[in-house]
Amino acid sequence: MMTTRTFLIADSGGTKAAWALAQQGRVIWQQRTPGLPPSFLSDAEIIGLAKSIADQINTPIEGVYFYGTGCREAHASVRMKKLLQRVFPKVPLEVETDILGAARALCGYEEGIACILGTGSNACHCKDGQIVQNIGGLGFILGDEGSGAALGKTLIAAYLNNELPDELHRALETTYALHRDEIIDSVYRKPGPNRYLAAFAPFVEQWLEHPWMTALAEREFRAFFEKSVLKFAVDAAIPVHFTGSVACHFEKTICSIAQKMGLQAGTFLTDPIEGLAAFHR
């Protein structure tokens, strides 16, 4: 009789992380924590978040698969693996990028383009469960077009420069009680400026029918396609799949822009964890 194997799978973005126990390709338990971006968290913070999950697991696990933002550079992935191994010392452990997690969740072993639109943005051409080419993932200062951070950055910059229509300016102030000094402090001095800016994305969605806000969203998503997806040398029939909170909240707008640019929009997943469980069956 075969023993049912249990794996711990994590998908960590810039704002939140999903953790799941998977058996035979199905999620049997799931929990969330704040995200674990290595560039913004100390060793103690990463270990603390991982330990908060380990303390809730009462069944033996045979492996840990961690997919995280900010793990592309070797030094970051090595550091993350060492820290996680201190929490899960007796099991095999793999640390991979969040974009590889998105690719495996969205495409499995099929060929496709996988996109992340959440706090940040990223895209890759994938096939057979591996990345063929990756373009993007440069962070909110150098890139992240179409992401929550990019939407928030453009919105807040327009607010500070008095470029918003009066009704949007008043609504933004009423909703968030904004003060210039607090904005500058949060963006340039406090930790997690990308998360701070991404927190304004729901306001963009709320006012999406306003012409100014429609134009903002369309510019960002068009820039995302131009900077990444259109650079992949693939057939136009290859589907473009999406995951992330921004992707799912702005699905209609994204599909419209994709169609105008000759792209075939495919699956939209709020959370890749179910797809990752199926991949690691």
Of 75, 67, 80, 84, residue with least CA distance to 244? 67
Q: SS3 for 173?
A: helix
Is the confidence at residue 9, as pLDDT, over 90?
A: yes
The pair of structure tokens assigned to 155 is 């919105």
Q: Classify domain 6-109+270-279 at the CATH class level.
A: alpha beta
How many residues are given for the chain? 281
Is the confidence at residue 38, as pLDDT, over 90?
A: no
For 110-129, what is each residue's pLDDT tens digit?
999 999 999 889 999 999 99
Looking at the chain, the domain(s) classified CATH 1.10.720.160 span: 139-269
Instruction: Compute the average pLDDT of residues 179-192.
Output: 91
Provide the pLDDT for residue 141.
81
Provide the pLDDT for residue 70.
84
> Edge-to-edge strand order for the sheet containing 26-34?
26-34, 16-23, 6-12, 64-68, 93-97
Other CB atoms within a 10 A radius of the CB of residue 90 amount to 8
Strands 112-117 and 239-243: parallel
**Mean pLDDT for the chain?**
92
Provide the pLDDT for residue 40.
82
For 250-277, what is each residue's pLDDT tens digit?
999 999 999 999 999 999 988 889 899 9
Is the confidence at residue 3, as pLDDT, over 70?
A: no
Give me the percent of the chain exceeding a pLDDT of 70: 99
The pair of structure tokens assigned to 87 is 């929490």
Question: 247 near 118, Cβ under 8 Å?
Answer: yes
Looking at the chain, the domain(s) classified CATH 3.30.420.40 span: 6-109+270-279
Give me the percent of the chain exceeding a pLDDT of 90: 75
Instruction: Compute the average pLDDT of residues 177-201.
Output: 92
Instruction: Compute the average pLDDT of residues 215-224.
Output: 96
CA distance 227 to 123: 10
State the pLDDT confidence band at 14, using cuts at 50, 70 and 90.
Answer: confident
Instruction: Compute the average pLDDT of residues 199-221.
Output: 97
Which pTM does this prediction carry? 0.84
Provide the pLDDT for residue 77.
92
Q: SS3 for 31?
A: strand
Which of 1.10.720.160, 1.10.10.10, 3.90.25.10, 3.30.70.1560 would CATH assign to domain 139-269? 1.10.720.160
Instruction: Compute the average pLDDT of residues 172-187.
Output: 92
State the pLDDT confidence band at 2, using cuts at 50, 70 and 90.
Answer: low
CA distance 68 to 77: 9
As a dihedral over the C-alpha atoms of residue 204, residue 207, residue 208, residue 214, rounded to 10 degrees, the angle is -80
Is the confidence at residue 1, as pLDDT, over 70?
A: no
The pair of structure tokens assigned to 113 is 């383009």
